[in-house]
Chain A
Amino acid sequence: MAGGLQLAGYDAAAALGALWNGAFGSWYALTSSTLVRAVPLILIGLGIALAFRGGAFNIGAEGQFYAGAIAATWVGVHLAGVSSPLAIISVWGAATLAGVAWVAVPVWLRLRFGVLEVISTLLLNFVAESLVSLMVQGPLQEAQRIYPQSDPIAEAARLPLLPGTRLHVGFLLALFGAAALWYLFARTLWGFRLRAVGTGPRAAEVSGRIDTGRFTAIALAGSGALAGLAGGVEVSGVSYALFQNLSPGYGFTGIAVALLARLHPLGVVATGILFGALEAGAGAMQRDAGVPAVAVYVVEAVVIVVVLLVEAGRRAGPVAGRVRA
C-alpha cells in the first residue's frame, strides 16, 4: 500500500501514520473509532460464519441489518415509560426478530423450491434499503418532518457507554456472542453436525440422524437474527435514530470478516476489529493526509486476496497427497 500511495503522489509515511493514529493512536481512537465500528462487523461476521458452516450463503446481512434497525427504531421511539434494561431488551429483541423475519422468505424458498439463497438474500437487501427510505419519509419520520430521519429513540433504550468514550455495551454483547458460538461449534454435537452439513451434506444425510434441511434453515435463521441484532445495536448504541445509509456496507464487509477468520468465532472478533481499525483509520487518513478514504478499501481487498491465496496453498497439501497405489 505504501508503494501505491507513493506512486500516486501522496506522502506514504504520513498517510499510513494517519491511518494508524486514527485507529489506534489514542485510547479514544481505539474505543470510540475502532471498536465501535467493530461491533456490527463482529455480530454480522458471526452470523455469516454460522450460515457458512451450515453450507448456506447469507449475502443479505445488509438487508437484515436494516430490518433490525427499523424494528429497533420503531420500538425505541414508541416506548413510553419503560425503564432501562427492559427497554434495551425490547429493542434488541425486536431487532433480532426482524432479522429472522427478513431471512425467513429466502429460507422458505430454498427449502421448498431450492432457490439459491445467494440470490434471494441479496435481492432482499435492496428491498430493505427502500423500506428504510419509506420509513424515514413516512411512518417513522421525525415529528418536525424536515429531514428524512426518525425521532431519536427514548433515553431508556440507549445503551450505556464506557465513560469518556463512545464505546457501548454492544461490544460486550459481540464478545459474548463470539464466545457462545465458539462453544457451540467446538463443544456441542449440534455445532459439529452443522459443520458436517456444510462440509459433506450427502454423508450427513446418509448418517440417518441429521436433517440437513433443518440444520441449514436454523443456521440461516440464526444468521439473520445476528445481522438484525447488529442493526438494533447500532441504533441503540450509536445513532439513536434511523436514517438512510445507516450502514456503510457492514453486511458486505461482514462477509470478508467471516471468511478471513475462516469461520472461527474467536477469529471473527479479531478480523472484525481489524476491519474496524481500517475504516476508522481511513477517515483520519483522509482528514490528516489528504488520501482519499477509499484507498483503504484497496487495502481490505489485498488482505482478503492474500489470505485466500495462503488458504489455497494450504488446501493443496494434505488432500493432494492422498494419491495411493
Chain B
Amino acid sequence: MTAPVLELRNIRKRFGSVQALQGADFTLAPGELHALLGENGAGKTTLMQVAYGLVRPDAGEVRVAGMGVAMRSPRVARGHGIGMVHQHFTLVPALTVADNVALFAGWPVSPRALRERVRELGDRVGLPLDPDARAGRLSVGLKQRLEILKALASDARILLLDEPTAVLAPGEAEELLAVVRRFTVAGGSAVLITHKLDEALAAADRITVLREGRVTFSGPSQGQTPRSLAEAMIGENKFLATEARAGGAGLEAGSGEAAPLVRLESVEVPRESGYGLAIRPTSIAVSGGEIVGLAAVEGNGQRELLRAVAGRIMPLRGRLTVAGPVGFIPEDRTTEGLIPELTLTENVVLGSTGSEPWLVGGRVDWRGARSHTAAIIQEFEVAAPSPDVPAAVLSGGNQQKVVVGRELSRTPRVVVAENPTRGLDLRATDAIHRRLRAAAAGGAAVLFHSTDLDEVLRLATRVLVVARGVVVEPPAGASRAQVGELMVTGGR
C-alpha cells in the first residue's frame, strides 16, 4: 500500500458564525482521480483551499507524501507540487497567455523561448492555446484552459480543480476530463471538486461526499448510484425533482395559443465586438407559456440572440418585437448581474425600471426598497442575513437567486436567462428551474440558454439549436445525440 500523496486529517474551520468544516478527512492516493462532491456551502472549496495553503485551518493537519506540512501559503503548496485551478479565474486580462503562464510559474520571460515553451506545453497535455492571445479576450472555456496550463507549468503533481466543467459545453467538459485522466495515468493525482453527480460517477476513481462540513461518504465510485450519492449529499431519501422530466408543469403545446410575446422577423444581430454577424437572418416567434431552450456550443451566437431579445444589443436588420416588461438574467452574476460592493437593496434598485412604487419622481424611498428586497429574499429563499449586506458576502447560488428574484418579482412578460444555473448546486438549480417554470405557467415567454445540454432538454418545452449564427429547430422526437450533432454541424 503506497502512502497517500495528500492527506487532510480532521480539518476544522470557522468563518465568523459559520462552521465551514467540522473535522473533515480526505485522502488522495497516487495516480488517482478523486471527486469531492457536495452542495454549495458544503465545504468542498474550503477543504481544498486548506490543502493549497489559501486558508489556515483552525485544527487538523495536512500531510504530503506522508509528512506533515504547515501549508502557510500557495507558494508552499506549489513547492510541494500542488496546483489549484479555481472556480473564479485569476488571470491578468491585459497580458497574453504566455505572460500569464510565465507570471504564475516563474518562467523566465524571454519572449521567443517562452512562447515556444507555452505552445509546447499546451500541445503536450492536449490543451492547445495561442501563446500570443490576450487573456482578457479569450472565451470562458479557453480561459479555463489557461488556468490549467498555469497549474501544470508549475510542475504540479497534484492538481486541485474547483468546478472546472461548470463553464464548459458538453464536448469541452469531456475533453477536459480526458486531459485530467491522462494526467493521472501519467502518474499525477487529481481532485475534482464538483456538485455534478453524473460527472463524479463517470470520471472519478474514488468519491468523497461532504455535507455541511462533514464527510458523509468516502469510497470507490464503482458501485455507487446517483441515488446513493444524492442521499449522502443532501441527506434526504427522495431525489430532487430535477431528475424527472418537466412533466406536470403543464406547459406542453403552449405555443400558438395567444399572440407571440417575442417575434423576430429576419433579424440579424451583430457580434458584440461590432465585427461580423452573430445571428444570420432569423425568424422566430415565442408565445406566453413557452420555455424555449437554446442548445448551443459557446460562441455560436446564442448569447447575442438572447441579448437582442432582452434589448441589450440592437439588431442590424429585421423587425424585433418584444412585449415588456422584460426580465434579464445575465450570464456573469458578479460583473453583470450584481455590483458586489453594493448591498442587496441597492442591487435591487439597480435593476429598477423607474415604475416601481418606491420610486416616485426620481426619488428613491430607501425604506420601501429595503422591504421590497426583504420580500424578495423571503420569497426566493435567499440565504442572506439582511437586505443590507453587500452582495459579495453571498454564495454564488444565493447571488443568483437575488438576480432571479429581482427580475421575476417585476412579473415580466418575457424572461431571458443566460446560463442561469451556472456553478450552482442541485438545490439552487432546482429552485431556479421552479421559478422559470412558474413564470411560464403565469403566461410569460421564457428564453434561456445553458451550456448543460441535459438541462436544456429537461427544462425547455421547445428546443432551438443555434450553430454558427443559424437557428435550427430539431425535428420532433429528436434524441439527445441528434440535438448534440445539430449543435456542431448546424444542420448542414
Is A207 an interface position by the 8 A CB rule?
yes
Is the pair B40, A324 in contact by a Cβ cutoff of 8 Å?
yes
Is B330 an interface position by the 8 A CB rule?
yes
Contacting residues of chain A (27-76) with chain B, CB-CB under 8 angstroms: none
Taking each of A187, A189, A190, A204, which has the highest tally of chain B beta carbons within 10 Å of its own beta carbon? A189
**Interface readout for B384-422 with A: 1 if CB under 8 Å, 0 if not?**
000001101111100000000000000000000000000
Residue of A nearest to B333 (CB): A203
Report the stretch among A89-97, A113-121, A314-322 that lies at the interface: A314-322
Q: A203-B337, A203-B338, A207-B350 are in contact. Are A325 and B311 (CB under 8 A)?
A: no
Q: Tell me if A's interface is mostly helix, strand, loop or mixed.
A: helix
Is B374 an interface position by the 8 A CB rule?
no
Is A6 an interface position by the 8 A CB rule?
no
**Nearest CB of chain B from residue A84's CB, rounded to whole Å:** 34
Is the pair B20, A318 in contact by a Cβ cutoff of 8 Å?
no
Tell which of A192, A203, A318, A325 touches B393, judged by Cβ atoms closer than 8 Å. A318
**Nearest CB of chain B from residue A206's CB, rounded to whole Å:** 4
Residue of B nearest to A202 (CB): B335
Residue of A nearest to B45 (CB): A325
Is A188 an interface position by the 8 A CB rule?
yes
Is B353 an interface position by the 8 A CB rule?
yes
A192 to B45, CA, bound (A): 35
A206 / chain B contacts, CB cutoff of 8 Å: 312, 328, 330, 336-337
Contacting residues of chain A (200-221) with chain B, CB-CB under 8 angstroms: 200, 202-204, 206-209
A323 to B48, CA, bound (A): 12
Is the pair B45, A189 in contact by a Cβ cutoff of 8 Å?
no
**Nearest CB of chain A from residue B377's CB, rounded to whole Å:** 17
Is the pair A324, B353 in contact by a Cβ cutoff of 8 Å?
no
A67 to B277, CA, bound (A): 47
Is B352 an interface position by the 8 A CB rule?
yes
A196 to B194, CA, bound (A): 34
Is the pair A200, B339 in contact by a Cβ cutoff of 8 Å?
yes
A239 / chain B contacts, CB cutoff of 8 Å: none
A192 / chain B contacts, CB cutoff of 8 Å: 346, 349-350, 364
B176 / chain A contacts, CB cutoff of 8 Å: none
Is B340 an interface position by the 8 A CB rule?
yes
A323 / chain B contacts, CB cutoff of 8 Å: 15, 45-46, 49, 54-55
Is A199 an interface position by the 8 A CB rule?
yes
A324 / chain B contacts, CB cutoff of 8 Å: 40-41, 45-46, 395-396
Is the pair A325, B40 in contact by a Cβ cutoff of 8 Å?
yes
B349 / chain A contacts, CB cutoff of 8 Å: 189, 192
Tell which of B55, B363, B390 touches A319, judged by Cβ atoms closer than 8 Å. B390
Number of residues on chain A facing chain B (CB within 8 A): 24
Residue of A nearest to B44 (CB): A325
B328 / chain A contacts, CB cutoff of 8 Å: 206, 208
Number of residues on chain B facing chain A (CB within 8 A): 50
**Nearest CB of chain B from residue A21's CB, rounded to whole Å:** 43
Is the pair B392, A318 in contact by a Cβ cutoff of 8 Å?
yes
B44 / chain A contacts, CB cutoff of 8 Å: 325
A196 / chain B contacts, CB cutoff of 8 Å: 339, 342, 346, 350
Is the pair B46, A203 in contact by a Cβ cutoff of 8 Å?
no
A208 / chain B contacts, CB cutoff of 8 Å: 310-312, 328
B47 / chain A contacts, CB cutoff of 8 Å: 325
Is the pair B393, A321 in contact by a Cβ cutoff of 8 Å?
yes
Is B357 an interface position by the 8 A CB rule?
no
Is the pair A325, B336 in contact by a Cβ cutoff of 8 Å?
no
Is B341 an interface position by the 8 A CB rule?
yes
Is the pair B390, A187 in contact by a Cβ cutoff of 8 Å?
no
Tell which of A203, A318, A321, A322 touches B350, judged by Cβ atoms closer than 8 Å. A203
**Nearest CB of chain B from residue A306's CB, rounded to whole Å:** 23
Is B359 an interface position by the 8 A CB rule?
yes
8 contacts between A and B (CB under 8 A): A187-B363, A187-B366, A200-B338, A200-B340, A204-B350, A206-B330, A323-B54, A325-B45
- Closest 8 interchain pairs by CB? A200-B339, A325-B43, A206-B336, A324-B395, A325-B46, A203-B339, A325-B45, A322-B392
11 more A-B residue pairs beyond the given contacts A209-B354, A323-B55, A325-B44, with a C-beta to C-beta distance below 8 A: A192-B346, A192-B350, A208-B328, A319-B390, A322-B393, A323-B15, A324-B46, A324-B395, A325-B21, A325-B42, A325-B210
